[in-house]
Amino acid sequence: MSYHDRNALRNNTMRRSIAALAARLMAEDGISDYRFAKRKAARQLGVPETEALPNNAEIEAELRAYQAIYQEDEQRERLLEMRRTAVEVMRLLDPFRPYLTGAVLDGTAGRFADIDLEAFPDNSKEVEIFLLNQGIRFEQNEPRRGGAETPECVLTFDCNEFPVRLSLFEPDAERAQKRRNGRPAERARLALVESMLEVPDK
């Protein structure tokens, strides 16, 4: 085996090790940020960040595998309850035509995942006033900066003991195609999420 082949094999092995550890950190420690998880995993393994790190899709594949082996029953039941709660909140927010996105939609939601919702109201204050009128106490959080995909504001609150993260964008942003884990991000309206309650392990 040539030096180049040995080096490529070593790099591939290390990428898989980092991806597997990052997935375990996400599943067990509640880390939701793929970038943070892979960097923490690399540090724990003593790998410089200058090395080739796994991409988000590789980590997601390892996360699904870890959950299937070590958390199957727990994760399936939790995912079903989170989707039921998502439906409850989406029905409440129906005037604003919310979408479900993130880990609860794609099925990777772990023990500490948020229910990620998105809405594109004419005015974000309308949503805040609506929630207050419904007696829902929420916190307004500073959005993570990300260019055109940055929401106007993020409202967080609890429902059925699950954390809900509602990102409010300008109406024009609804047509933008966001990306998650290197792929186009999925979004689902209420009817699709309701249909998932019959297939909790989707």
pLDDT at residue 169, rounded to an integer: 93
Q: What is the dihedral of CA 125, 145, 155, 32, to 10 degrees?
A: 160
In the predicted model, what is the mean pLDDT of residues 165-179?
Answer: 85
pTM: 0.76
* Spatial CA neighbour of 164 closest among 56, 107, 92: 92
pLDDT at residue 182, rounded to an integer: 54
* Spatial CA neighbour of 42 closest among 69, 80, 15: 15
pLDDT at residue 52, rounded to an integer: 76
pLDDT at residue 59, rounded to an integer: 92
pLDDT digits (tens, 9 = 90+) for 54-103: 998 899 999 989 888 888 788 889 999 999 999 999 999 999 999 999 99
pLDDT above 90 covers a percentage of the chain that reads: 50
Between 22 and 179, whose confidence is greater? Answer: 22
**Is the pLDDT score of 1 beyond 90?**
no
pLDDT at residue 202, rounded to an integer: 43
pLDDT digits (tens, 9 = 90+) for 109-155: 887 889 999 999 999 999 999 999 999 999 998 776 555 578 989 99
pLDDT at residue 68, rounded to an integer: 87
**Is the pLDDT score of 3 beyond 90?**
no
Token couple for 83: 């989707």
Q: Residue 138's beta-bridge partner residues? A: none
**Is the pLDDT score of 25 beyond 80?**
yes
Q: CA 25 → CA 17, 20, 36, 75, 187, distances in Å?
A: 12, 9, 10, 15, 25
